[in-house]
Amino acid sequence: MNASDTRPPAAIRKPGAAFMLSHPAHILAQGFGSGLSPVMPGTVGTLFAWLCFDVLTQRWPHVFTAGAWGIIIAAGFLVGIWACHQTGRDLGIADHGSMVWDEIIAFWLVLLVLMPAPPATQVWAFLWFRFFDMVKPPPIRQADRRFKGGFGVMLDDLVAAFFTLLVFAVWRAL
């Protein structure tokens, strides 16, 4: 592509490991490979987030405290805007299904707010989060349509996390 050619690159439908490893933004946006799953990459990315959160929190509880997770999530959101923008641009699809960093950060937020949560609560959190992320009821759908680029990719999952936490708040209030 020369400098005068402003056309976006052709869309890459099925990125593989070579694409992911070609740029640090791709590695992050594609969830260290979890987004390359041929089946339900968003669900696989969320499972990866859950596994990472539990393993890190249990293995190093004095390092991965609630405060540390808060910083990780905030920084991960900001870096995710860049990573998802770059990866979406390189894939030719702004919110490609293989990009799962948004699910990872949003589900870490859910787990952080529910911390410490028994396994059954974590399962319900996973199911509610995936429901809101896949179905995208209003206003998640509006956020997804209105905001573009890396920020839009990250935002709709953050709204899905909010709705997941709202379900738990209502459930606890009843």
Which tens digits make up the pLDDT trace of 28-82? 999 999 999 999 999 999 999 999 999 999 999 999 999 999 999 999 999 999 9
The sign of the dihedral angle between the CA atoms of 122, 54, 58, 155 is negative
pLDDT, tens digit (0-9, with 9 covering 90-100), for 72-122 = 999 999 999 999 999 999 999 999 999 999 999 999 999 999 999 999 999
Find all residues with CB under 8 Å of 97, minimum gap 6, and list them.
35, 41, 42
Section 157-162 average pLDDT: 96
Is residue 156 in a domain?
yes
Is residue 34 in a domain?
no
The predicted pLDDT at position 24 comes to 97
Closest CA to 106 of 162, 144, 25: 162
Q: Which domain holds residue 100?
A: 40-173
Is residue 31 in a domain?
no
Is residue 12 in a domain?
no
Is residue 56 in a domain?
yes
What would the two tokens of residue 94 be?
């702004």
Question: Three-class SS string for 26-78?
Answer: HHHHCHHHHHHCCCCHHHHHHHHHHHHHHHHHHHCCCCCCHHHHHHHHHHHHH
Number of domains in the chain: 1
What confidence tier does 1 reach under pLDDT thresholds 50, 70, 90? very low
What confidence tier does 142 reach under pLDDT thresholds 50, 70, 90? confident
Give 34's DSSP letter: G
Is residue 130 in a domain?
yes
pTM for the whole structure? 0.92
Neighbouring C-alpha atoms within 13 Å toward the C-beta of 70? 6
Is residue 160 in a domain?
yes
